[in-house]
Amino acid sequence: NVQQFAQRVMNLSEYRKNIYEYLVTKMNDIAPNLTSLIGVRVGAQLISNAGSLSNLAKLPSSTLQILGAEKALRRALKTGGNTPKYGHIFHSSFIGRASTKNKGRMARYLASKCSMASRIDCYSDMSSSIFGEKMREQVEERLDFCEKDVASRKNLDVMNPAIEGMTNRVSEEDKEKENGWKKESNSKADDDAMHLDKPAMHSTLCTRLAIVEL
């Protein structure tokens, strides 16, 4: 019995590991910016609670902030108590590192960045995590500002390099597509030329055979 129990625990551990690896792969494919910003587990919880990535992208940041705390919100509205300040994002490392007086401020700021990241993931034609990485830097700087009063960079100073990086990547992919189209057109032109030359080659061979017979 003990061996069976130990084997079952090992199987469950392996199953959990496989599920987590699958979750990491899917989140990086579907929502790379949200994953880079807030992590795999919290990002997946937000998407699961909203129903889909498109539903999450349509939510305002104030609603995203309290996703996962619906029972506490209803109880507060019913009893007239204080409404919750955070839901699933409470499990983020940013909220955990913030002091008690700054948790609400960090939750609002993090929710706004998560809202922007989910919209980029939902409506962007190209999959990239560069904006999520830059937003994570912004949240880190905001945490330092709240805790240590360290001045943070402006939004444009942080996002301009990300925009330039995406622009360069789009131009490179366009060049690759254009080169691919040129190769296809050249190969088609060569095939057409071969088809056009076949009748001429056939007539030349027939003429030579006739001369040989004579």
Q: Look up the pTM and report it.
A: 0.74
Q: Report pLDDT for 175.
A: 74
* CA 66 from centre of chain: 22
pLDDT in tens, 51-94: 999 999 999 999 999 999 989 888 998 998 888 888 999 999 99
Averaged pLDDT for residues 167-174: 76
* CATH architecture of structural domain 2-213: Orthogonal Bundle (1.10)
- Tokens at residue 162, please? 């990300």
| Residue 115 burial (C-beta neighbours within 10 Å; 0-12, 13-18, 19+) | buried
Q: Report pLDDT for 13.
A: 94
Nearest Cα neighbor of 135 from 48, 43, 15 is 43
C-alpha distances in angstroms, 44 versus 40, 67, 131, 136? 6, 12, 18, 17
Task: Provide the sign of the torsion angle of the four alpha carbons 183, 188, 191, 192, taken in this order.
Answer: negative
Pairwise pLDDT comparison (199 vs 146), residue with the higher score: 146
Q: Report pLDDT for 209.
A: 46
C-alpha distances in angstroms, 164 versus 130, 156, 171, 174? 11, 12, 11, 15
Q: Report pLDDT for 204.
A: 54
Q: Report pLDDT for 200.
A: 54
The answer on pLDDT for 195 being more than 60 is no
Question: Where do the structural domains in the chain lie, given as residue ranges?
Answer: 2-213
With a pLDDT cut of 90, the percent of the chain lying above it is 53
The answer on pLDDT for 206 being more than 70 is no
Least confident of 35-49, 88-102, 160-174: 160-174
The answer on pLDDT for 132 being more than 80 is yes
